[in-house]
Amino acid sequence: MADIKKLTNEVGAPVADNEHSITAGPRGPVVMQDVWLMEKMAHFNREVIPERRMHAKGWGAYGKLKVTQDVSRLTKAKVLQPGAETELFLRFSTVAGERGAADCERDIRGVAVKFYTQEGNWDLVGNNTPTFFIRDVHNFSDLNRAVKRDPKTGRRSAQNNWDFWTLLPECHHQITITMSERGIPASFRNMNFYGEHTFSLYNQQNERVWCKFHFKTKQGIRCLTNEEAAAITAVDREYHGKDLYEAIERGEYPQWGMYLQIMTEEQARKHYENPFDITKVWPHKEFPLIEVGVLELNRNPENYFAEVEQSAFTPAHVVPGIGFSPDRFLQGRLFAYGDAQRYRLGVNHNHIPVNQAKVPVQEYHRDGAMRVDGNYGGTPAYSPNSAGYWTAQAEVAEPPMPLEGAMWRYDPKDDPTDDCFRAGGNLWRVMDERQRALLIHNTAADMAPVTRNVQYRHAVHCYLADPAYGTRLAEALGLRMATVEALARLDHQGLIQATLSGTME
């Protein structure tokens, strides 16, 4: 084996000098002939790859999922069979901040898990919240632009953020969680995470159920107040990354219990609201958590760029026994995530070791930038072919998915069962007084720079979720209660019209 400490150039030839440029005379200019110097500068210029548009700031670790229970009646996925142990890589992230952003911002946390299963990679790409702001992928880029930088000032803008959020009432549930104490976790180890979307599971008999994935921390929920987070951020922007890394180095491996919520196709048809709407949750009392096993993180990456930055996830990566659902937001992400990785890392990003499956990959893609394996040699590049290469495996086909209705641009708000405020209200009602006070305090602080009309819009949404929630927020913001109550009697369009003016008192 080569001595790793000896310097060579980019193609393995020894480098004689790595500190002194070749100059024309002892005080003369550098010459083009210093090709190693040119190579160093040129490579350095290209070391930064495009950052993720969202979830740019992240930390990752390896671990395993151990299945301790028997859920084989629900799914044939080998990764979820009793006793199965599967290696995984997990990346935590914030959403809005860029790659250099501080860890302790008020934001939701992305949690993307890549399970290296015997049947190929399964990526579960969720968050530390069981729900999301929006439910139609049409709003996806707009949400992200609203929480990112203002085009004129180049600064993050509370006004843009809250203006957008309050114009889409379905955001209310996720806003409530984000402004609650859980909006700034004490560490990644101290938060739950969720697959968020409704997925499907199907068993050996190809019987389908709808499913939501939950991961509950075994370290206990712990959160930071705004004041604690500000004090930490002043001295340490990498606080959560450091905590995770050091805990794993100490041998304190964080664990989460994995659970499923299951809804039958029949229950879904009768459910009182759209079970595929990501802005809602399925109540625990009606759909109790079913234990699956334990997810543990136990190994730090050797190299941040190679493993964390280059890790790539897409919810499109599922394995037999796990499938999608009609969730229209999930359907959009099935395209958007893989496409983001093709742009960011290139079309062959699944060949990067952290993304590589542990089983043979025979997808018969050819060529493309940075194709570094044998490119399938001389095997046929087309299918079908008489040599029998690249035969589809019909035995893993999932059962047909029943759908209903004509193709159309449906607005979920036209669905009489749609209630954008029930879930946020339910959360308010499960909170104790300490949690409620924090929610009001955090919301009022976040909305302080925002114009009155937008403050009214949100207070009305809170009032519709629970009168006490709206009343407490109105008091904290100094809004007139009579105006909140009058606005709460309007329909959605009426409320928007009445709250368009930034000069509203």
Q: How many CB atoms lie within 10 A of CB 4?
A: 5
Tokens 């941040």 locate to 304
Of 177, 224, 244, 340, the one binding ligand NDP (CB under 6 A) is: 177
Q: With respect to ligand NDP, which residue has the nearer C-beta, 193 or 202?
A: 193
Of 71, 74, 427, 473, the one binding ligand NDP (CB under 6 A) is: 427
Instruction: Enter the tokens of residue 212.
Output: 């939501």
CB 290 within 8 A of CB 73: no
Of 15, 24, 42, 221, the one binding ligand NDP (CB under 6 A) is: 221
Q: With respect to ligand NDP, which residue has the nearer C-beta, 218 or 366?
A: 218
- Cα 214–chain centre separation: 14
| Burial of 194: CB neighbours in 10 Å, binned 0-12, 13-18, 19+ | buried
Q: Contact between 430 and ligand NDP (CB under 6 A)?
A: yes
Q: Contact between 284 and ligand NDP (CB under 6 A)?
A: yes
Q: Contact between 224 and ligand NDP (CB under 6 A)?
A: no
Q: With respect to ligand NDP, which residue has the nearer C-beta, 177 or 474?
A: 177
Q: Contact between 255 and ligand NDP (CB under 6 A)?
A: no
Q: Contact between 192 and ligand NDP (CB under 6 A)?
A: yes
Find, among 107, 247, 243, 248, the residue nearest to 186 by Cα.
243
Q: With respect to ligand NDP, which residue has the nearer C-beta, 431 or 490?
A: 431
| Pairing between β-strand 109-117 and β-strand 85-94 as defined by DSSP bridges | antiparallel
Alpha carbon distance 146, 128 (integer Å): 21
Instruction: Enter the tokens of residue 76.
Output: 């044939």
Q: For 277-416, list the strands marked E by DSSP.
A: 290-299, 322-323
- CB neighbours of 46 closer than 8 A, spacing ≥ 6? none
Q: Contact between 283 and ligand NDP (CB under 6 A)?
A: yes
Alpha carbon distance 84, 116 (integer Å): 12
Instruction: Enter the tokens of residue 406.
Output: 């004509």
SS3 117: strand
Q: Contact between 418 and ligand NDP (CB under 6 A)?
A: no
Least distance CB 197 / ligand NDP (angstroms): 12
Q: Contact between 220 and ligand NDP (CB under 6 A)?
A: no
Instruction: Enter the tokens of residue 421.
Output: 């405020």
Of 233, 267, 426, 451, the one binding ligand NDP (CB under 6 A) is: 426
Only one of the segments 10-18, 330-338, 374-382, 419-427 lies at the binding site for ligand NDP (rule: CB under 6 A); that segment is 419-427
Least distance CB 172 / ligand NDP (angstroms): 10
Q: With respect to ligand NDP, which residue has the nearer C-beta, 173 or 458?
A: 173
**Residues linked to residue 213 through DSSP beta bridges, in sequence order:** 260
Instruction: Enter the tokens of residue 49.
Output: 């790859």
Of 167, 184, 281, 330, the one binding ligand NDP (CB under 6 A) is: 281
Catalytic residues: 55, 127
Alpha carbon distance 160, 177 (integer Å): 19
Least distance CB 56 / ligand NDP (angstroms): 24
Residues between 94 and 153 that touch ligand NDP (CB under 6 A): 130
Q: Can you list the alpha helix ranges (DSSP code H) found in 180-283? A: 226-235, 239-249, 265-270
- Cα 253–chain centre separation: 22
Least distance CB 422 / ligand NDP (angstroms): 7
Alpha carbon distance 346, 328 (integer Å): 27
Q: With respect to ligand NDP, which residue has the nearer C-beta, 223 or 318?
A: 223
Of 181, 196, 327, 446, the one binding ligand NDP (CB under 6 A) is: 181
Q: With respect to ligand NDP, which residue has the nearer C-beta, 430 or 482?
A: 430
Least distance CB 262 / ligand NDP (angstroms): 12
Q: Which residues in this chain contact ligand NDP in the complex, by CB under 6 A? A: 130, 173, 177, 180-182, 192, 216, 221, 281-285, 423, 426-427, 430-431, 435
